[in-house]
Structure 1
Amino acid sequence: MRALEVGEAALLLEFEDGEETRAFHAELLRRRAAGALPPVREIVPAARTVLLDGVADPGRLAVEAARWEVPPLDPREGPVVEVPVRYDGPDLAEVAALWGVAPGEVGRVHAGVEYRVAFCGFAPGFGYLTGLPERYAVPRRATPRTAVPAGSVALAGPYTGVYPRASPGGWQLIGTTDAVLWDTAREPAALLTPGSRVRFTEEGV
């Protein structure tokens, strides 16, 4: 782990890989819940970093964090969110060809994995979900779409994501969901929050 002070009240922690990042993020949440973490306004994970904002003494926290023994992330840890999906996306046939399966098998493969929200970004409520085996990673589209419908379930590289609102995008679209990904009247507003486990269920099955 590498710790970098950012301004006067923030600390950026850098890690070797996503697994280490997710394990450390979980440890930070555990310590904050137990009152064992100095006051922090926000804990924001990314692919290989975690930003702690609103820290009274970033330097001291960096020294303390370097001494922690952080266990691997328990796959059973974290709340579970179920997302019903219709596997009817316009890129279903293309993804099936890349995977070497029939289009009707894409949903079975995709829904047969439990995912974890590694981090959020791009748009409010958009979570980057890990868990799909490496052999199923697919490239982004060569030409992004100017408009992707809200609720589109999509793949890009090692990630799965669900578009919370209509927006441009270059991910491969394999399905749709009616789940509301972002609702300011809900607490938290995001359905998929970092650390949550996600299970997709194939509608009609």
Structure 2
Amino acid sequence: MDAWLVRLFDAIDERNMGWITALVSACKQAFGELLVDIVPSYTTVLVQFDALQLDHAQARRLLQQVLRGLAPDLHADDDTAIIELPVWYHLSVGPELARLSQHTGLEIPALIKLHSQPVYRVFALGFAPGFAFMGTLPAQLELPRLTQPRAQVPAGSVAIAGRQTAAYPNASPGGWNLLGRTPTQLFDLQRPSLSLLQVGNKVRFVPITKAQFERLGGDSTPMAKEAY
């Protein structure tokens, strides 16, 4: 055993973030070079340690010590800039706009406004490298995942599922509802942090035209008919 999963909360809430970031920072300081990896999420933090130098009981005691003195980071948001992701919202690249319109009774321009107005928080990274789970989506836009996932979702596809939103960093299978596409490269092996988005980041989606999308290097190839 070389990791402990610390559960701080039972429900997803943006107010959790101050505690999550505080625990990450405290673990980095307490474990030092013995920390192999640390993975924050909505309600938990996975702490992976060097099992050759620290057994699981010692790691547990160290975590208990950290938790006893833990206090939320009240200034976690002070210097957090908003990352803007341009998005071309269109049925040809966001086929579930039609499904969402039927589900909510709202016209597509209203749906685009609802999705692009909030500032979202990155709660977790997973599923695929650079895939950032963001929330919380407006309740009006809540939609379950597709019953039949697509075999291939194009890179940059902006999607929703439940009360979450995300953008696919690379082409991959996926079952989220597609609303549009961003030209922004979300995962880059040449980037020091690899992923553009990190846990704790604030993100806003900015609607753009097809012409702007293509000028920014976006691939406007429509989804295959069978993918609708």
Q: TM-score range by the shorter chain?
A: 0.7 to 0.9
User: Partners in 1 of 2:149 and 2:203 — Cα distance?
Assistant: 26
Q: Look up the match of 2:66.
A: 65
**Correspondent of 2:18 among 20, 23, 29:** 23
Q: Deviations over 1:56-106 (max 9, x none)?
A: 441222212332233578555634311000111111111122233101221
Structure with more of its chain in helix, by fraction = 2
**Greater CA deviation, 61-70 or 154-163?**
61-70
- Whether the 8 Å CA contact 1:151–1:162 is kept in 2: the answer is yes
SS of the residue 1:44 aligns to:
strand
The TM-score with structure 2 as length reference comes to: 0.77
Q: Deviations over 1:12-61 (max 9, x none)?
A: 101322236533321134446xx743322321023432101126441222
- Whether the 8 Å CA contact 1:28–1:37 is kept in 2: the answer is no
Q: Look up the match of 2:224.
A: none
- Whether the 8 Å CA contact 2:16–2:43 is kept in 1: the answer is yes
Alignment root-mean-square deviation, CA: 2.3
- Aligned residue pair count: 196
Q: Which runs of 5+ in 1 are unaligned?
A: 1-6
**Correspondent of 1:133 among 138, 156, 164:** 138
The TM-score with structure 1 as length reference comes to: 0.85
- Which segments of structure 1 move beyond 3 Å, counting only runs of 4 or more? 20-23, 29-32, 71-79
**Larger Cα Rg: Structure 1 or Structure 2?**
2
Q: Look up the match of 1:82.
A: 84
Q: Identity across aligned pairs (percent)? A: 35
Q: Which amino acid aligns with 1:187?
A: P
- Are residues 117 and 49 of structure 1, via their aligned partners in 2, closer, same or farther at CA, if it must alter by over 3 Å? same
